[in-house]
Amino acid sequence: MGTSQLGGAVYGNPNLNQNADIILNEVGSTNRSVLNGALEVFGKNAAVVIANPNGFDCNGCSFINTSKLTMVSGQSRMSDGAITGFKINNDLTSDFIIHELGLYANNTNDVDIISRAIKLRGELQAKQDLALKQGNDYYDYTTGEVKSNTNAAPLSLALISHIYLISQQAALNSSLLKKVQG
């Protein structure tokens, strides 16, 4: 038994004999993922992957005890039980929108957001490395490369006064994208 930040006292799953390294959450419905609060990994921190080919709406979403966060508007591809990559949805309605209340991954070292279209309307915070990757074909989870055909949509800069995506460790800081010190 342990104490969760969100759920209080929690018993571990007796059917599991070790902690997860990667947690894959793949949405199988036809709806977008609507994230309006915190997601916590209970136990040892782990990489969290959320895949939804229908897109994402993040409005005040945050992540607790997450070593790496990958959110993809696509479907996973697996080989021998391991994630190899994601087929990115080519439909513009399956975009990734960070709404006014933002996305906060202040304690997450690496944040990767992959979609055909990404719209920033609120603040985005990551502890260390932040990657916004656009493409409309395939994302290789191992290499981090995005492949596209020639019809990829541009990055939406709605409500951004400045954006700087060339960064060394402490250099990422604009009106909506921020590196959290610490």
Residue range(s) defining the domain that contains residue 87: 20-179
Residue 88 within a domain:
yes
User: Is residue 11, in this structure, part of any structural domain at all?
Assistant: no
Mean pLDDT value across residues 151-179: 50
Q: What's the structural domain count of the chain?
A: 1
d(CA 66, CA 105): 8
User: Higher confidence at residue 168 or residue 82?
Assistant: 82
Q: Does a structural domain hold residue 161?
A: yes
CATH number of the domain that residue 54 is part of: 2.160.20.10
Q: Tokens 């060339």 sit at which residue? A: 166
CA distances from 118 to 19, 29, 55, 78, 181 (A): 32, 21, 10, 25, 25
Read off the pLDDT of residues 12-59 as tens digits, 9 standing for 90 and up.
778 888 888 999 999 989 999 999 999 999 889 999 999 999 999 999
Running DSSP on this structure, what letter comes out for residue 16? -
- Separation in Å, CA 99 to CA 34, 95, 131, 159: 11, 12, 18, 11
Answer yes or no: is 10 within a domain: no
CA nearest neighbour of 135 among 111, 158, 123, 118 = 118
CA distances from 121 to 87, 102, 124, 143, 156 (A): 25, 8, 9, 29, 9
59 in a structural domain: yes
**Contact criterion met (CB below 8 Å) for 166 and 132:** no
CA distance 52 to 31: 8
CA–CA distance, 53 with 73 (Å, rounded to integer):
5
pLDDT tens-digit map of 93-139: 889 999 999 999 998 999 999 999 999 999 998 888 899 999 888 99
Residue 123 lies in a domain: yes
Give the end-to-end CA distance of the chain in Å, rounded to a whole number: 29
Residue 31 identity: N
Q: What's at 83, amino acid-wise?
A: I
Q: Is residue 34 part of a domain?
A: yes
Sign for the CA dihedral angle at 149, 162, 118, 86 comes to: positive
Judge whether 5 lies within some domain.
no
- The stretch 145-169 carries a mean pLDDT of 58
